[in-house]
Amino acid sequence: MKRYILHTPFSIYQFEASTWMHSVHKHTYFEIIFILKGRGFHHINGNTFDYIAGDVFLLGPEDFHDFDIQEVTAFCFVRFNESIHKEYPGDKDRPWQPVIRTLLNTSSQSRGSIVTDKDEKQKLHHLLAVLEAECANDQSQYFDMIRDSLMRSMMVILARNLFSQTPAKPVLKDSAEAILMYIRQHIYQPEDLTIEHLASTFNYAPAYISLFFKKQTGESLKQYIIRHKIKLIEARLLYSQLTLMEIADEFGYTDESHLCKQFRKYTGTTPTAFRKRM
């Protein structure tokens, strides 16, 4: 399967097509896809969704997709790596930071278009229009700051819509799905992912929650948390310019050495060698 590469932290691309010319593919980046006009089908990760004008999709690096165009369609693709979300003075500990992290680390593609409300779609498309206008002046000293603010606003709106949707099947508080969701949402807070804390959160005895999770998933609770964290670290190494110290701090490791030791244990290579090789 072909994998498309983004050589810059950000790009925006608008075009019309009556026939989709690309085979099923993956990316090395995140992608917000706006449907400006037209209709057809969007095949994502083996699922098929109708699309119409106004729909908005969010794809991550591991999602694979293609389109079946039924009516001439105008697309706008906003492509970006996580590295565009750099902090500006006063940004530290702002409430939008964990919201965007959770959005980018949550699979959204079992639901098709993230936004269904007409007014919410309109807000996103207005922000897109401003973003496109600003891109025409991308040499301005203010461009990066304005671009990042617009992208941040888009993603918070996407998060609001995604997280407010009711899943097709309700997630029961005492289910393995609820535990998995909790782990993904708190992967940057290791103190919230101890066996004792998880047991308390889900009203299980510490010994029982581990047995329950392994019976339901086939993997131990501790192993799942570590493997999920390692996958996210691999994405940081591939798609960001963060140093190992910064990555270690983000994921709650005591130091860079601890990160390297665990990464090597689960991947067979060091973070530095992984980044160079890929």
Domain architecture of the chain: domains with CATH: 2-164 (2.60.120.10), 176-277 (1.10.10.60)
pLDDT of residue 69: 95
User: Is-contact 79 6, C-beta < 8 A?
Assistant: yes
For 185-211, what is the mean pLDDT? 89
Q: pLDDT class for 127, splitting at 50, 70, 90?
A: very high
User: Is residue 31's pLDDT more than 60?
Assistant: yes
pLDDT of residue 87: 54
For 95-99, what is the mean pLDDT? 67
pLDDT of residue 194: 93
pLDDT of residue 1: 56
Q: What percent of the chain has pLDDT over 70?
A: 86
Q: What percent of the chain has pLDDT over 90?
A: 41
Kind and range of the H or E run holding 228 = helix 221-239
pLDDT of residue 168: 42
User: Is residue 169's pLDDT more than 50?
Assistant: no
Window from 71-80, 106-115, 193-202, 247-256 with minimum mean pLDDT: 106-115
| Claim: this prediction has a pTM higher than 0.85 | no
pLDDT of residue 32: 94
User: Is-contact 58 158, C-beta < 8 A?
Assistant: yes
Contacts of 91 (CB under 8 A, 6+ apart): 97
What's the rounded Cα separation, in Å, for the pair 182 and 193?
Answer: 9
Q: What share of the chain is helix, strand, coil (3-state, %, to 5)?
A: 45, 20, 35
Which range scores top for mean pLDDT: 15-29, 73-87, 125-139, 231-245?
125-139
Q: End-to-end alpha-carbon separation of the chain, Å?
A: 17
Window from 67-81, 119-133, 162-176, 190-204 with minimum mean pLDDT: 162-176
Mean pLDDT computed over every residue of the chain: 84
Of 170 and 96, which is predicted with more confidence? 96
For 207-233, what is the mean pLDDT? 88
pLDDT of residue 9: 82
pLDDT of residue 269: 94
Residue with tokens 């037209």: 38
